[in-house]
Structure 1
Amino acid sequence: MPSMDIVSEVNEVELRNAVDNTKRELATRFDFRGKTADVEYKDHVVTLIAEDDFQCQQLVDILRMQLSKRNVDPSSMEVDEKAIHSGKTFSLKVKFKEGIETLIAKKLVKLIKDSKLKVQASIQGEKVRVTGKKRDDLQAVMALARESELGQPFQFDNFKD
């Protein structure tokens, strides 16, 4: 019986490359010349540091652009609402969603069941396992998950026939 897992994860290597490319672009940007600005990455959290709040938002836009160039879905970003002011710099934390939260997993399972496809969906930790009799049904579930607007990107693992 064919089955697959729906997961939500960020490719760590591509994320690190996007952060490095953001640092490179920051070094060449005219509007950041002579200003204090930096991008740091540690444990799936990117910290953007700049002299004012507007520049922090510009750094978020640069990071978002670099992520999309590296095929990392920018919708996996969770940007803090307000930059933290300390001394003469502002810092903004950007976290990346790993795993599917229970509430979103329940919405995804409900969406799959409402689609009337002949598949079973069950929540298993931070992923959703989908089983069905035909692979075409699983591929229809993939299309459904990609089209859903649940606030995070989904990937598909362990596709077994």
Structure 2
Amino acid sequence: MAGSYSFDVVSEVNMQEVDNAVNQAKKEIEQRYDFKGSKTEIEVKDDEIKITSDDEYKLKSVIEILKAKFIKRGISPKALDFGKIDKAALGTVRQTAKIVKGISKEKAKAIAAEIKASKIKVQAQIMEDQLRVSGKNKDDLQETIALLKSKDFGIELQFTNYR
């Protein structure tokens, strides 16, 4: 396999940083005047964040605070996939945000199609929740990384195992 180079395209989230961002958001909510006496909660379970608040306005404010804390901790807000707003007990509203880990098959196919359409001399191979891009020339791989960084696929992409 001499003369062949590759890298992996992945979408990973550091759960410790997610936990830190949620804790910082909780502290800010406790200290803010507009949240005094409100029933606002943020809870992390597995790969989900549950947000509960008094009304939709406060819920949106909590989401903005959470996104700001994510950005400060170096996590892309694209890592959150928000569900619909549900009515909860005692007149409160609830929203669940899934933490996106890995690249779904549909997104991987879209990324592979984009690479193929670019006419760069590399091959893209889908491997479970990541994508391996290989080619004979390192410059082609660099060009592919630049291409993928310039496009928005709705998820945060990282490039690992560059060999």
Among candidates 36, 47, 52, match of residue 49 of structure 1: 52
Is the contact between residue 85 and residue 93 of structure 2 (CA under 8 Å) also seen in structure 1? no
Is the contact between residue 146 and residue 153 of structure 1 (CA under 8 Å) also seen in structure 2? no
Unpaired runs of at least 5, structure 1: none
Among candidates 15, 20, 41, match of residue 17 of structure 1: 20
Counting aligned pairs with the same residue, the percent is: 34
Is the contact between residue 84 and residue 96 of structure 2 (CA under 8 Å) also seen in structure 1? no
Is the aligned partner of 1:69 residue 2:60? no
Q: In angstroms, what is the RMSD of aligned CA positions?
A: 1.2
Structure-1 separation of matches of 2:145 and 2:127: 17
Is the aligned partner of 1:90 residue 2:97? no
Letter in structure 1 aligned against 2:115: I
Q: Which residue of 1 aligns with 2:108?
A: 105
Unpaired runs of at least 5, structure 2: none
* Runs of 4+ that moved beyond 6 A: none
Q: Which residue of 2 aligns with 1:132?
A: 135
Is the aligned partner of 1:151 residue 2:127? no
**Shift of residue 103, structure 1, vs aligned partner:** 1.0
Q: How many residues matched?
A: 160
Is the contact between residue 12 and residue 101 of structure 2 (CA under 8 Å) also seen in structure 1? yes
TM-score, structure 2 as length reference: 0.93
